[in-house]
A and B are shown apart, each in its own frame.
Chain A
Amino acid sequence: MRISAKLYLSTIIATGLICLLTFFVSQYSRKVTTAQQKADIANQLVRQATHLNIILDEYLSYRYERSEQQWQKVSSALFELAEKLPPANTDLVLIELEDISSVFSRLKLENYLDLKLPKHISLSDNQIASKEVQDWLSSQIRVSADNILSIAFSLSLQTSKEIKTINQSTFSTVLWFSILLILLLITSSVLIIRGITKPLLALVEDVEKIRQNDLDKTTTNKEDSLSPNNKNEIDILTQAFIRMTTQLTGTVQSLQLSEERYRALFETVGVSLWEEDYSEILTMFEELREQGITDIPTYIQEHQEFVVEAARAIKVLDVNDATLKLYHAHSKEEFLVSLDKVFVPESYTVFREELVAIANGRESFESEAVNGTLDGGRINVLMAVSFPEKFRDQGKLTASITDITDRKLAEKELENHREHLQQLVNERTSELKIRVKEAEHLNKAMVNLLDDLQEKQRQLEASAQQLTASNVELKEFAYIVSHDLKAPLRAISQLTHWIVSDYSEAFDDEGRMQMDLILQRVKRMDGLIDGILRYSRLGRVREKTETLDLNLLVNEIIDNISPPDTVQVTIENKLPVILSDSIRLEQLFQNLIGNAIKYMDKDKGLIKVGCTEIEGYWQFNISDNGPGIDKKYHDKIFQIFQTLSPRDEQESTGIGLALAKKIIGLYGGSIWVESELGHGTTFFFNLPKKGEPDEKH
């Protein structure tokens, strides 16, 4: 900043000086002009005054009118001039001029009144033309004119003196100013140049040093040498330059570091890496193009000799340790000279593809290949070559080689296995085909079977529906039947009653007995109808299955029946707890126990209820010491409406056992009797277990 400030400053000062100079010069010229004007006036004054004298003479001589006019003209001109004189001179001149005018007017008018004449002149009475007077008057005028002249001359002199001084002073001023100006110019130039050139030269030095990679030796490194307040443009540049060098140093360092890291990586990585130079190949391509060959890939495919030449043109710059290990080389030098052992004839095919890739402008190429090791062996490798577009100008590429020999072997084995497998598969397939055919036959048979089954099912469903329908019918039928059959019975019973009671006197014993018989028979019929209803209802009505403790159940039944004192009903052993419906089971036990009581013929009747556990069944037994049942009736007694004794002896519906058998049949069990005439009876029945809770305590 300071440089520009300096420049501005010098410019301003210079401008200032020049202005001053101009001012002085203008002042001088003004003064000179004024002086010249004065001189001019003085000259004019002289001329006019002289002129005046001449005219006067002329007038005095000839008294021309013209002369008078001229005199007026000159006179007025003189007056005018007088006004233009400096004030000091003006008054003097004016006095003289007035004198002149007055004298002239006396002359003109010949007015000699009140005239102060000198001693030697006197007025005669003839005042008209005294030449002496006239001469004296005119001499007065001349004297005045002369005074004016001298005034004018002195003025003229004065002015020329003035001009001289002015000139001198102006000259000296200009001189001094010029000197100052020159000094100023010189000083500022020197200062500015010094302020610019020195640091610039330093920068130039540093640039040279950078060019030569001596970044540390730059002098502009010292940023602190500049005080922050004194910053001029060069300083700013310097600072920027310093920053740039610092950054550059950093960049260069990190680049170096990067390079080192890359080198380290290159050397130590486990994959074989090659650095190659293929710029010659690019040149070869260029030559082809110059020859006019545009389709290079095709050319490569067709010209094997080109491929061979190109292979030779590749320069291997560097390889890493992993490469040496892979190819069984002892040193880099050994390896680099033995490359022809590595690139066996089979490699050329792959190399051709690589060339095509390069020619096509690809950036990478990958392929499997066969290489040779330095000890004469062969390895299968996977090569991946990279030649990015960016680095094409340098002509460098990197290749990585991975040993896939093992993999290749494994692949081959896999292939063998696969073939073997394929063979097996084929064999099995043909076997399977045969089996499939058999299965199809079976399938057909099954389908037929299924159709049959479905048909049967349909039939079953139809039957089931029919059964349900007939069940419903039966239920309604049973209900209606019982109701409609019972109603007349009731009527008969009641009417008979009333006849007996209302007309008792008309009846004798025989009659009353007959009436009784009517009532008895009616009652029997009622019982039979109930029996039928009960029997038919069995199996239609679904009862609720619950857990029943048979001990409680049986005791309850015994209470309900309330056997007479002569009969004792006991439970032999602990009866199980079973899953069943209570109503049916009640009916069952009631029937059997009731029968035993009913048919008891002994004074001391003993009825025992017991239970044994058999595989999957509960077997119950109800035994009594009654009359016993003849063997030939052991089956018949279970038929409906069958009674052992005629109904007149034992009032019995004859359905008790039939009902019992039906109930047990519904549960999937069986009932039978063991008895002999005169030796008591035991009824057995078993009920299948239904997953009851374990009641064994």
Chain B
Amino acid sequence: MRSTKPILLVEDDQVDAMTVKRALKDIKVTNRLDIVNNGEEALIFLRNPENEQLGIILLDLNMPRMNGIEFLEIAKSDDDLKKIPIVVLTTSKEEQDKVDSFNLGVAGYMIKPVDYLKFVEVIKTIDLYWSLSELPD
């Protein structure tokens, strides 16, 4: 990542979380990774003034309590939170999910591949993109 700002991962599955973590390590991304398990926890985390400003959010859609779409709705209507780029990282190929996500202004929508190596490629692509793309301060 360009900046050193931390990355927030919103993901409930333990193994998927481990996968992201490992993948980031493999491509030598050193930004801090924070993990929360669902939308609610994400909001609490984000609203906590002690926490640093984030660089990017990686968001799973299928989560208990508050799922990804619901989180997106709230985050993108919040003036502070909507500035943070969100990339959806999900298994869902459903057209409706894609439509909803982009309607709510996600920065990207990536399908989690089953194969780990392919997964790493996906993370690498995200990293490459956000290394190049500018962000407002």
Spell out A's residues near B (CB within 8 Å): 479, 483, 486-487, 489-491, 493-495, 497-498, 522-523, 526
Rounded to whole angstroms, the CA-CA distance of A497 and B62 in the bound complex is 24
Chain A residue at minimum C-beta to C-beta distance from B119: A494
Which 10 pairs from chain A and chain B are nearest by CB?
A: A491-B15, A497-B116, A494-B116, A494-B19, A526-B114, A490-B114, A493-B114, A483-B91, A486-B91, A487-B13
B52 interface hit (Cβ, 8 Å)? no
With A479-B94, A483-B62, A490-B91 as known contacts, state yes or no: A495 contacts B114, CB within 8 Å: no
Is A490 a contact of B94 with CB atoms below 8 Å?
no
With A483-B62, A483-B92 as known contacts, state yes or no: A491 contacts B16, CB within 8 Å: yes
Is A490 a contact of B117 with CB atoms below 8 Å?
no
Identify 18 residue pairs between A and B in the complex whose beta-carbon atoms are under 8 Å apart, listed by A's number. A479-B94, A486-B114, A487-B13, A487-B16, A490-B91, A490-B112, A490-B114, A491-B15, A493-B115, A493-B116, A494-B18, A494-B116, A497-B116, A497-B117, A498-B22, A522-B114, A523-B114, A523-B115
Rounded to whole angstroms, the CA-CA distance of A320 and B111 in the bound complex is 117
Q: How many residues of B contact A (CB 8 A)?
A: 16
Is A490 a contact of B16 with CB atoms below 8 Å?
yes
Chain B residue at minimum C-beta to C-beta distance from A479: B94
Chain B residue at minimum C-beta to C-beta distance from A529: B114
Chain B residue at minimum C-beta to C-beta distance from A486: B91
Is B15 a contact of A494 with CB atoms below 8 Å?
yes
Rounded to whole angstroms, the CA-CA distance of A497 and B118 in the bound complex is 12
Rounded to whole angstroms, the CA-CA distance of A493 and B22 in the bound complex is 14
- Chain A residues with Cβ under 8 A from B114's Cβ? 486, 489-490, 493, 522-523, 526
Interface string of B91-105 (1 = CB under 8 A from A): 110100000000000
How near does chain A come to B31, taking the closest CB pair, in angstroms? 21
How near does chain B come to A181, taking the closest CB pair, in angstroms? 138
Chain B residue at minimum C-beta to C-beta distance from A490: B114
> Given contacts A486-B114, A491-B15, A498-B18, could you give 11 more A-B pairs where the C-beta distance is less than 8 Å?
A479-B94, A483-B62, A487-B91, A491-B13, A491-B16, A493-B115, A494-B19, A495-B15, A497-B117, A498-B116, A523-B115
Rounded to whole angstroms, the CA-CA distance of A486 and B93 in the bound complex is 12
How near does chain A come to B18, taking the closest CB pair, in angstroms? 7
Chain B residue at minimum C-beta to C-beta distance from A480: B62
Secondary structure class of chain A's binding surface, majority of residues = helix
Rounded to whole angstroms, the CA-CA distance of A498 and B20 in the bound complex is 12
Rounded to whole angstroms, the CA-CA distance of A479 and B91 in the bound complex is 10
- Chain A residues with Cβ under 8 A from B62's Cβ? 483
Q: Which of B74-97 contact A (CB under 8 A)?
A: 91-92, 94
How near does chain B come to A365, taking the closest CB pair, in angstroms? 96
- Chain B residues with Cβ under 8 A from A526's Cβ? 114
Spell out B's residues near A (CB within 8 Å): 13, 15-16, 18-19, 22, 62, 91-92, 94, 112, 114-117, 119
How near does chain A come to B55, taking the closest CB pair, in angstroms? 24
Rounded to whole angstroms, the CA-CA distance of A523 and B114 in the bound complex is 8
Chain A residue at minimum C-beta to C-beta distance from B26: A501
Rounded to whole angstroms, the CA-CA distance of A522 and B91 in the bound complex is 16
How near does chain B come to A675, taking the closest CB pair, in angstroms? 35
- Chain A residues with Cβ under 8 A from B92's Cβ? 479, 483
Chain A residue at minimum C-beta to C-beta distance from B23: A494
Rounded to whole angstroms, the CA-CA distance of A41 and B18 in the bound complex is 188
How near does chain B come to A241, taking the closest CB pair, in angstroms? 114
Rounded to whole angstroms, the CA-CA distance of A479 and B24 in the bound complex is 29
Rounded to whole angstroms, the CA-CA distance of A479 and B94 in the bound complex is 8
Rounded to whole angstroms, the CA-CA distance of A490 and B92 in the bound complex is 13
Rounded to whole angstroms, the CA-CA distance of A493 and B112 in the bound complex is 12
- Chain A residues with Cβ under 8 A from B117's Cβ? 497
Rounded to whole angstroms, the CA-CA distance of A491 and B112 in the bound complex is 11
Rounded to whole angstroms, the CA-CA distance of A491 and B19 in the bound complex is 8
How near does chain A come to B103, taking the closest CB pair, in angstroms? 20
- Chain A residues with Cβ under 8 A from B112's Cβ? 490
How near does chain B come to A522, taking the closest CB pair, in angstroms? 7
Name which of B15, B91, B117 has the most chain A CB atoms within 10 A of its CB. B15
How near does chain B come to A86, taking the closest CB pair, in angstroms? 154
Name which of A493, A498, A523, A526 has the most chain B CB atoms within 10 A of its CB. A493
- Chain B residues with Cβ under 8 A from A486's Cβ? 91, 114
How near does chain A come to B136, taking the closest CB pair, in angstroms? 35
- Chain B residues with Cβ under 8 A from A489's Cβ? 114
Chain B residue at minimum C-beta to C-beta distance from A541: B95
Rounded to whole angstroms, the CA-CA distance of A493 and B16 in the bound complex is 11
- Chain B residues with Cβ under 8 A from A483's Cβ? 62, 91-92
Rounded to whole angstroms, the CA-CA distance of A479 and B15 in the bound complex is 21
- Chain A residues with Cβ under 8 A from B115's Cβ? 493, 523
- Chain A residues with Cβ under 8 A from B16's Cβ? 487, 490-491
How near does chain B come to A278, taking the closest CB pair, in angstroms? 107
Rounded to whole angstroms, the CA-CA distance of A475 and B133 in the bound complex is 38
- Chain A residues with Cβ under 8 A from B19's Cβ? 490, 494
Chain A residue at minimum C-beta to C-beta distance from B61: A483
- Chain B residues with Cβ under 8 A from A497's Cβ? 116-117
How near does chain B come to A692, taking the closest CB pair, in angstroms? 28
Rounded to whole angstroms, the CA-CA distance of A262 and B31 in the bound complex is 130
How near does chain B come to A19, taking the closest CB pair, in angstroms? 132
Chain A residue at minimum C-beta to C-beta distance from B90: A483
Rounded to whole angstroms, the CA-CA distance of A483 and B62 in the bound complex is 9
Rounded to whole angstroms, the CA-CA distance of A407 and B22 in the bound complex is 118
Chain A residue at minimum C-beta to C-beta distance from B113: A490
- Chain A residues with Cβ under 8 A from B91's Cβ? 483, 486-487, 490
Rounded to whole angstroms, the CA-CA distance of A487 and B13 in the bound complex is 8
- Chain A residues with Cβ under 8 A from B116's Cβ? 493-494, 497-498
Chain B residue at minimum C-beta to C-beta distance from A498: B22
How near does chain A come to B99, taking the closest CB pair, in angstroms? 15
Rounded to whole angstroms, the CA-CA distance of A449 and B19 in the bound complex is 66
Chain B residue at minimum C-beta to C-beta distance from A502: B22
How near does chain B come to A476, taking the closest CB pair, in angstroms? 11
Rounded to whole angstroms, the CA-CA distance of A498 and B16 in the bound complex is 13
Chain A residue at minimum C-beta to C-beta distance from B22: A498
Chain B residue at minimum C-beta to C-beta distance from A523: B114
- Chain A residues with Cβ under 8 A from B94's Cβ? 479
How near does chain B come to A483, taking the closest CB pair, in angstroms? 6
Chain A residue at minimum C-beta to C-beta distance from B95: A541
Rounded to whole angstroms, the CA-CA distance of A491 and B20 in the bound complex is 12
Rounded to whole angstroms, the CA-CA distance of A582 and B11 in the bound complex is 36
How near does chain B come to A517, taking the closest CB pair, in angstroms? 15
Chain A residue at minimum C-beta to C-beta distance from B96: A479
Rounded to whole angstroms, the CA-CA distance of A479 and B62 in the bound complex is 11
Rounded to whole angstroms, the CA-CA distance of A526 and B112 in the bound complex is 13
Rounded to whole angstroms, the CA-CA distance of A491 and B17 in the bound complex is 10
- Chain B residues with Cβ under 8 A from A523's Cβ? 114-115
Rounded to whole angstroms, the CA-CA distance of A523 and B94 in the bound complex is 21
Rounded to whole angstroms, the CA-CA distance of A486 and B92 in the bound complex is 10
- Chain B residues with Cβ under 8 A from A493's Cβ? 114-116
Rounded to whole angstroms, the CA-CA distance of A494 and B15 in the bound complex is 8
Name which of B18, B94, B115 has the most chain A CB atoms within 10 A of its CB. B115
Name which of A486, A493, A494, A498 has the most chain B CB atoms within 10 A of its CB. A494
How near does chain A come to B26, taking the closest CB pair, in angstroms? 9
How near does chain B come to A538, taking the closest CB pair, in angstroms? 16
Rounded to whole angstroms, the CA-CA distance of A71 and B128 in the bound complex is 191
How near does chain A come to B38, taking the closest CB pair, in angstroms? 15
- Chain B residues with Cβ under 8 A from A495's Cβ? 15
Rounded to whole angstroms, the CA-CA distance of A491 and B15 in the bound complex is 5
How near does chain B come to A353, taking the closest CB pair, in angstroms? 98
How near does chain A come to B13, taking the closest CB pair, in angstroms? 6
Chain B residue at minimum C-beta to C-beta distance from A475: B94
Rounded to whole angstroms, the CA-CA distance of A523 and B116 in the bound complex is 11
How near does chain B come to A533, taking the closest CB pair, in angstroms? 9
